[in-house]
Structure 1
Amino acid sequence: MRLETPDRVDVAVIGAGQAGLALGYYLAEAGVDFRLLEAASKVGASWARRWDSLRLFTPAQYNSLPGFAFPGDPWKYPGKDEVAAYLAMYAERYALPVHLDTRVTKLNGAAGDFRLHFASGEPLKARAVVVATGAFGSPFVPALANRLDPQVLQIHSEEYRNPSQLRGEDIAVVGGGNSGFQIALELANNGMRVSLSEGVRLRNLPQRILGVVGHEVVGAGGAMRKRTDSRPQDGN
């Protein structure tokens, strides 16, 4: 959906991904005048452009936004296209005021009188601003990469789509997060020799514990939900 931008709103939310949409749900529920400003041409575009085989590492029932359960089998691990479709459905279901193709290029001012600037058009004034752009808008490549032999093919997970992009059989995957593990496993399953490099050793929980889905076990202990005033190590 594309909406005409007013001169002023109470709250401007930069980004219409899962965080921005969830916030939009509560702002709408509270009757606040707000807009969701999304740089992409579609809601969920950042998910749709990830690698082909990407799957969430949590079952669908733990990936729902407020008010609308993730569709399908609650114990299924959704793929990236399912996530993109769900986010688009969510925005439409609640008629959230999303401005597509609206990239914020500059933010200035102070609380009560912010100004958001765009590539063209007049600035949008807002009493409050929430930045909900996420952590994956600017891929990080360590400086060491510039010192590798030019013949070494380098590709960031942001650019990775499937094993056909990589030549040879010896692959080093740098980064042991969920992306690194999933990509390394896919490459190994396609006959490539893969080394996975982690900066620190991470504690990895099994998907099933004594036959029970691990997230259900963790959730029963209260670790899947946090109060807004809780500290990360608190169990409540």
Structure 2
Amino acid sequence: MFAARDLKVEEVRAMAVACVVPPLESVLEEVARRYLSVDPLFVAPGIKTGMPVLVDHPLEVGADRIVNGVAAFTRFQRAVIVVDFGTATTFDAVSDKGEYLGGAIAPGLKISAQALFEATAKLPRIDLKRPERAIGRSTVSSMQSGILFGYVGLVRGILDRMREEMGSAPSVIATGGLTPLLERDLAGWVDEVDPDLTLKGLRILHERNR
């Protein structure tokens, strides 16, 4: 990674981490201290986020979701919904006051495709790509249609419901590695796509906790 960016380890001055796999935290901490000579900032209870978390159990909210919320509100300075297309797809709502309101968690695209393959006897494992038509003319294209276009319906439906519950017209920003698969079909529902949103949020939180 350093070579690809033409960076040197000696140039690293700080490290911020949003980890949702607890057993990896000690590993990342050791890497930071041994190889980068820095004390990492972990996004965890007690750090300064500048974002009140208005949910029933704040400690249960994933670090990545708080990071995304901070980055999105900093970007728009108004009510916003973040959609993160990763292993799971998360929807996170932030109020006009910069308060984290909660959200929704859905199985990710890859998990959905994997479940369809594993739970059926005759359906094959498929590549995730957008089909040309909703009416598939083969098993593979039918599965691609059901997964991709069905997922578009899921995203649109949740966004519509969240907008209604928020009682405002929040901006919507999308991030995550699977966003390109859906971006074309979410025009009109998503205002902006930022693949680096989480990294930007980590930088913001690092600056707030220096």
- Greater Rg over alpha carbons, structure: 1
TM over 0.5: no
The structure with the greater share of residues assigned to helix is 2
Q: TM-score, normalised by structure 2?
A: 0.24
TM-score normalized by the length of structure 1: 0.22
**More strand, by proportion:** 1
